[in-house]
Structure 1
Amino acid sequence: MEIAVFSSKKYDTKYLRPAIEAKGHQPHFLQSRLDDETLQLAEGYAAICIFVNDSLTARGIESLSKKGLKYVLLRSAGYNNVDLDAADKFGVKVARVPAYSPYSVAEFAVGLILMLNRNLHKAYNRVRAGNFSLEGLTGFDMRNRRIGIIGTGKIGLLTGKICRGFDSDVVCYDPYPNVDGAKEYGMRYVSLDELLETSDIISLHCPLLPSTHHMINSETLGRMKDGVMLINTSRGGLIDTVALIKALKNGKVGQVGMDVYEHEGNMYFEDSSDSILLDDVFSRLLTFHNVCITGHQAFLTREALENIAQETANNLDDFIKGVEPKGIIKK
């Protein structure tokens, strides 16, 4: 079977090609993002492979299903960019990679915490400019600091586990708690109110759903401790960015680490260094010295890319064989 791979980069080709070809299928790598304007690129393919900023709407699924589309393979854990109601209606099967490497994202989240706390991003730039002053670089011991984990899937639990290694007090919240997992890692569940009101650092590890969209907003930000550090390595839409900027300006939020942004679709994964940045909200975020933004790279380790490639190939092969893939998404 031939499969169209959208939003592909060199690292996708390196890892996906051998994994898919080993199953006897032929991948075609396309740099274009998939959306309603580029649907023609997917016409005639029974299977397509998409990434986090591709968009497969109801219109797209209906159109492509009439042109032979049967399988959609997400090389990510999240699936908010696919209209599952339409997929179910038109008989298109969808699978994802739910646990490619939770370690990669968890380790990156903790890396952001350490960078912001000890001002490593500032120190790096200062030394390169010949400035060896330590003024403004004071951090705090992680020991005994309360770290709140919102969302306790594998990534959230592992983030908490790593933070426990600093002898931090880790509390967590999830509407579907994993009590045994949290207990094993020395964490405990509290109410969302308590987590917001008492945590020195809050790290988000939630899927983007209608119920979690802008869960960090003016109201929830107002309940946090003054000077709180906020980390997001999940999905940009969890945070109301305009409300976050206001909280940064009035000092409610002390530091922010973001690997994702709610309007990242037209910017991330591309080199736009020769272009003018048109997103005024994002531009304002970049002016804060206490904000560290990265370009959705938390997943980017060799181990994660190998696992994504293998699980994607397995999902496709299982679909073709009539076997239910481990990563299938059911409505």
Structure 2
Amino acid sequence: MKVLVYSAKDFEVEKLKNANQDKHRMTFVSEALDSTTVTLAAGHEAISIFSGDDASSVVMEMLKELGVKYLTLRSTGYNNVSTIAAKRLGIKVANAPDYSPHAIAEHTICLVLALNRRLLLANKQVKAYNFLLNDLVGSNLNGKTVGIVGTGRIGSLLVKLFHAFGCEVIANDLVVNHYLENQFNVKYMDLHTLCRKADIISIHVPLTQDTHYMFNESLFKLMKKGIVLVNTARGAVVRTKDVLNALRDGSLAGYATDVYETEKGIFFRDNPSGIKDAELKELIALPNVLLTPHQAFVTEEALRNIADTTVYNLNCWEENRPCKNELGYKTQILL
């Protein structure tokens, strides 16, 4: 089938081509999907989009009019897709789940260690031939209490990694993982209690109506003074205005994040003329903030898995067979 790949990045195009093996007629464009670029999909049966693309109800209506029948995401999260509109319009949607929980988990550990041990400042000082240690005092991970919010595949891996560092791990999730309780002595508790007890909190929940701004002023007020917050989930799970206030008044010792509340138009591109987002500029300028550009998923292994899953989804639809990644497919099976 004819497939238009939106938001195609140089580092993923070759992997998508290798996975496709010329089966589907793929066209790659760097533009993100939105109401102004949707017309590019004319004449294509399927499109592939990334997490920053806009597949809202209005855009889905336009896709339907253009004859698009299938939408496959190159991401696990699908908060940028109006699944209600897709179902109403008969557009099938699939994501790329579990492409590499290890990539996200390992990046989370990198963020924690780099922020905690002042690695960026150390590197900057050494490049200026400054070998003083006065501003480089960190603290051990060993013995710290780490709160994992969301113990799905990524969160479960982090339980094991932090446990290996000698941390006490506490957790919050709608579903208790008894294996983690038994094997790693994880203690589940409500979010407020977790915030009061943890020295480090790592977020691993999807962005939904319930988790939007989950971490806000009221939670920050409950936290220990000097806590470190880590976010490799979705930007809007944390209210930027409130995290900035907590950083300014010293409630938070540090914030390490791979995501940002309003990434669209800024992330995944070079901005040589600068940016206008005042809150993002302040985050970047703060010495106790470590922000990476949504790169946690960018490993060779993860990119290959995403490409393979994308082509698998397309193959299933073209061959009219069940697609295990299709949103709602598991529900259909249960019904």
Bin for the TM-score computed over the shorter chain: over 0.9
Is the contact between residue 69 and residue 90 of structure 2 (CA under 8 Å) also seen in structure 1? yes
What is the one-letter code of the residue matched to 1:29?
F
How many residues end up aligned between the 2 structures?
A: 329
What is the one-letter code of the residue matched to 1:317?
N
Equivalent position of 1:230 in the other structure = 229
Q: Relative to structure 1, is the Cα distance of residues 244 and 303 closer, same or farther in structure 2, using a 3 angstrom cutoff?
A: same
Q: Within 2, Cα distance between the matches of 1:183 and 1:171?
A: 13
Question: 1:149-185 CA deviation, whole Å, 9 max, x = no partner?
Answer: 0011100111121111101001111112322245334
What is the one-letter code of the residue matched to 2:278?
D
SS state of the match for residue 257, structure 1?
A: strand
Q: Within 1, Cα distance between the matches of 2:57 and 2:207?
A: 18
Question: 1:121-174 CA deviation, whole Å, 9 max, x = no partner?
Answer: 110111001111111211111111000000111001111211111010011111
Is the contact between residue 96 and residue 328 of structure 1 (CA under 8 Å) also seen in structure 2? yes
What is the one-letter code of the residue matched to 1:56?
A
Q: Within 2, Cα distance between the matches of 1:28 and 1:187?
A: 47
Runs of 4+, deviation exceeding 6 Å: none
Q: Relative to structure 1, is the Cα distance of residues 94 and 229 closer, same or farther in structure 2, using a 3 angstrom cutoff?
A: same
Q: Within 1, Cα distance between the matches of 2:262 and 2:319?
A: 38
Question: 1:2-34 CA deviation, whole Å, 9 max, x = no partner?
Answer: 111111111111111111235x11211100011
Is the contact between residue 228 and residue 254 of structure 1 (CA under 8 Å) also seen in structure 2? yes
What is the one-letter code of the residue matched to 2:9?
K
Equivalent position of 2:18 in the other structure = 18
Equivalent position of 1:57 in the other structure = 56
Matched, 1:70 2:69: yes
Correspondence list, 1:171-210, <5 A = 171-210=170-209
Question: 1:283-320 CA deviation, whole Å, 9 max, x = no partner?
Answer: 11112101000000000100000100001111111122
Q: Within 1, Cα distance between the matches of 2:181 and 2:153?
A: 10
> What's the TM-score once normalised by structure 1's chain length?
0.97
Q: More deviation in 180-189 or 228-237?
A: 180-189
Q: Within 2, Cα distance between the matches of 1:133 and 1:320?
A: 62
Q: Within 2, Cα distance between the matches of 1:123 and 1:324?
A: 52
SS state of the match for residue 212, structure 1?
A: coil
Equivalent position of 1:9 in the other structure = 9
Q: Within 1, Cα distance between the matches of 2:157 and 2:163?
A: 10
What is the one-letter code of the residue matched to 1:282?
L
Q: CA deviation at 1:100?
A: 0.1
SS state of the match for residue 49, structure 1?
A: strand
SS state of the match for residue 215, structure 2?
A: coil
Q: Within 1, Cα distance between the matches of 2:231 and 2:211?
A: 13
Q: Tell me how large the CA RMSD over aligned residues is.
A: 1.2
Question: 1:196-217 CA deviation, whole Å, 9 max, x = no partner?
Answer: 1010000000100010000010
Equivalent position of 2:265 in the other structure = 266
Unaligned runs of 5+ in 2: none
Q: Relative to structure 1, is the Cα distance of residues 5 and 182 closer, same or farther in structure 2, using a 3 angstrom cutoff?
A: farther
Unaligned runs of 5+ in 1: none
Identity across the alignment (%): 38
> What's the TM-score once normalised by structure 2's chain length?
0.96
Correspondence list, 1:66-215, <5 A = 66-215=65-214
Q: Within 2, Cα distance between the matches of 1:68 and 1:38?
A: 15
Q: Within 1, Cα distance between the matches of 2:289 and 2:181?
A: 29
Equivalent position of 2:277 in the other structure = 279
SS state of the match for residue 103, structure 2?
A: helix
Is the contact between residue 34 and residue 54 of structure 1 (CA under 8 Å) also seen in structure 2? yes
Q: Within 2, Cα distance between the matches of 1:227 and 1:138?
A: 14
1:319 to 313, 317, 320: 317
Q: Within 1, Cα distance between the matches of 2:206 and 2:301?
A: 22
Equivalent position of 2:255 in the other structure = 256
